Amino acid sequence: MKKRFLFPLIFLLGILPVWVRGQEPAKPFRRGLFVSAIQEPPVLSNREAILKLVSFAKKADVQVLFVQIYYANRTWFPSRVGDPVPYRECLKSVGEDPLKVLLREAHAAGIQVHAWLNMLSLNDNGDAPLLRKYGTDILTRDAAGKRSLVDYKIDRQYFLEPGDPRVRKELATLVGEVLRGYPDLDGIQFDYLRYPDVHPVYGHTKINIQRFKETTGSVTIRNQDPVWQQWKRDQVTGLLGTFVKKARELRPGIRVSVTGCMPYPRAYHEAFQDWPSWLDRKIVDFATVMDYSPDPAQFERWILNVKSKIRDFSKMNIGIGAYRLGNEPETFSKEFRVCETADAGACVVFHYGSLVEYPALAEPLLEAERRNAKPSIRS
């Protein structure tokens, strides 16, 4: 009799959702906060700063912290792909792995932590380990001649070529380092997953052009050719797919997300991001678009434009650019309220350092906490 029921039981276990087999389903959230690794004071370099962040998030009813741990090929975790010097310095200062401290404290407060990774930008790090390993051959570029490393800078940054298989392999390995090293992470977010959008004429690396010609049969390349433009869009999407595959293999239940440029025409035609399709095809669980306009009217128009581009608006978070509004707390407050009434998945503030530097910006996040505070008893 036992054998008769064994196969049905195994079959059911195979098709049940991951969360039924021991992992809680991801909880929806309404507010998120970007935490930059390079803000002052650096949060992960100081135990007191970590505790202060968690305390602020609790008071501000922030349910998710997007914590930057990879930036300019520098890492705030042990790594062989990136430069781990920042991690080692933080480890020495805190006395234990700072991200693990943050995870422990945030989870105790009921707050999720998602790793935030800047994937294709090396910023201005000309000494990046990936550059030392492969040279300028892995940097995206235009068709103009290059004499030195500085000639590869675009908008004051070096950008990796998304169509280069070596880039895909190295960055996928880095994703694996993060997920293996921090099994308690609630999510992972891929940022800077795009081509540079300043004069969008890039992608002219030797290996990318070779792959394009072999795949499409094209002999020449024109920047305005729709076939070439779609190729570049496909390289960005393919790169995202590589990261998602790695994440799902290592952590089937983890929430995977991505950031998107705004407005949409910039994302699609200049940065070669197709974030509506990433959501509609369920490649990622949700996306956060960077609606960083300092004009509240434009901020709202961009939200309406996003609504028209995707099927499920609950999968879209709206990023609010507090970093541009330090001296304009009223403008930030207007945009924050517009976001909270827009029925998006969540409102995500960029970034925590700006709220620390300009405390008035935090007012709309702390209103509910102040309303619920008990009046003091005076003798």
For the segment 252-301, what is each residue's pLDDT rounded down to a tens digit? Answer: 999 999 999 999 999 999 999 999 999 999 999 999 999 999 999 999 99
For the segment 289-315, what is each residue's pLDDT rounded down to a tens digit? Answer: 999 999 999 999 999 999 999 999 999
Question: What pLDDT does residue 24 have?
Answer: 56
Instruction: Give this prediction's pTM.
Output: 0.91
Which one-letter DSSP state was computed for residue 374?
P
- DSSP SS3 for 297: helix
Alpha-carbon dihedral angle through residues 11, 17, 18, 21, given to the nearest 10 degrees: -60
Kindly report the backbone phi and psi dihedral angles of residue 289, in degrees, each rounded to the nearest multiple of 5, phi listed first. Answer: -90, 140
Q: Where do the domains of the chain lie, and which CATH numbers do they carry?
A: 26-366 (3.20.20.80)
Question: Is the C-alpha dihedral spanning 127, 132, 135, 140 positive or negative?
Answer: negative
Region 109-129: mean pLDDT is: 98
**Residue 357 tokens, joined:** 């530097």
Q: How large is the C-alpha radius of gyration of the chain?
A: 22
Region 197-210: mean pLDDT is: 94
Mean pLDDT of the chain: 91
Question: What pLDDT does residue 370 have?
Answer: 58
The strand pair at 64-71 and 74-75 is best described as: antiparallel
Which string of b and e fits 69-106 if b means at least 16 CB within 10 Å?
Answer: bbbbbbbbbebebbbbebbeebbeebeebbbebbbbbb
Length reported for the chain: 379
Nearest to 119 by CA among 168, 182, 192, 60: 192
- DSSP SS3 for 35: strand
Q: What is the 3-state secondary structure (H, E, C) of 65-116?
A: EEEEEEECCEECCCCCCCECHHHHHHHHHHCCCHHHHHHHHHHHCCCEEEEE
Which string of b and e fits 242-271 if b means at least 16 CB within 10 Å?
Answer: bbbebbeeebeebbbbbbbbbbbeebbebb
End-to-end Cα spacing for the chain: 75
From the number of C-beta atoms within 10 Å of its C-beta (0-12, 13-18, 19+), residue 176 rates as middle
For the segment 138-185, what is each residue's pLDDT rounded down to a tens digit? Answer: 999 999 999 999 999 999 999 999 999 999 999 999 999 999 999 999
Task: Confirm if 63 and 29 have CB atoms less than 8 A apart.
Answer: yes
**Residue 64 tokens, joined:** 């998710």
Residues 135 and 155: their CA atoms lie apart, in Å, by 20
Region 247-251: mean pLDDT is: 97
